[in-house]
Structure 1
Amino acid sequence: MATYEIDGVVFDLARTYSDVTGIEWTWSGRWTAAGEPIMRTVSGFLPLPDVYRWHGPLIAIPEPVTGRQMRAVFGADFLASQAAGYVESPESWAARVLGGVA
């Protein structure tokens, strides 16, 4: 895993980042002569410190949910809880929380 640190913030270069305007930046796999990672976007390339200063803060784009994660959430335990009646239907939730107004 390649990382790069700026001002105490560690960037995982395998991740995609969004700047404040929503433009996505990914590492190009290249480095400057000064050892800075070169980031790319649809409009070109910039060293990560420049992207950080001029377009930051940078926000890591969430990684997609995997099938394994979905199975862990909606696995046998969830289904057993639902079958036992521990999981509310949207209608019963509305009746409890909203006083029956859905």
Structure 2
Amino acid sequence: MNTIFVHEGIEFDLTLTYADTTGVEWAWTGEQVDGVPLMAQKKAPGGCETPWKLTDLYWELGPLIAIHDGPSPADFRAAIDPDYADTVAAGYVEAPAAFGARITTAPVPSPAVPQLTAHHLPPSPLEQTGFRRFLSSISGRSAS
């Protein structure tokens, strides 16, 4: 039986689950009516348990978004290193424990941070010679 259905130029792979615009997932029941696949909700608690024609579902709640299964670990390996078996055989793959030991390093001690004291700071304007004399002159007191 053909698992590809074409509607208005759009191919639907009936082996996949589809989500409608409300987020409900629909799957093919394996049945057809007038050559149109029947779709049923995957989980229908309180929802519609009656199958819909894919064309009606498309028009009422579409567009339909295909939900693909996630890639397997083998798919990831093939995408990253298509010659993974050759890489392992050549010894370029290290054990997780060896990798962990290689990347784990002792923290580098930071040098002691010097603490600022009063003699590291610039002198206060009040301690400068001319400024104190100026303040004394405007206050009417004598400079000390």
TM-score normalised by the shorter chain: which range applies?
0.5 to 0.7
C-alpha deviation, 1:74, in angstroms: 4.8
* Matched residue, 1:20: 21
SS at match of 1:53: helix
Q: Deviations over 1:32-82 (max 9, x none)?
A: 1x11100000222101000000010000012211121122245457xx7xx
Count of residue correspondences: 77
% same residue? 35
Structure 2 residue runs without a partner (length 5+): 93-144
Matched, 1:58 2:64: yes
Q: Which residue of 2 aligns with 1:37?
A: 37
Aligned residue for 1:27, secondary structure, equals strand
Provide the TM-score with structure 2 as the length reference: 0.49
* Aligned-partner SS, 2:56: helix
> Any stretches of 5+ residues in structure 1 without a counterpart?
81-102
In the alignment, the residues of structure 1 paired with residue 38 and residue 73 of structure 2 have an alpha-carbon distance, to the nearest angstrom, of 32
Return the TM-score normalized by structure 1: 0.67
Greater relative contact order (CA < 8 Å, ≥ 6 in sequence): 1
Look at both structures and tell me which one has the larger radius of gyration over its CA atoms: 2
1:40 alignment partner, SS class: strand
Distance, in Å, in 1 between the alignment partners of 2:76 and 2:59 is 37
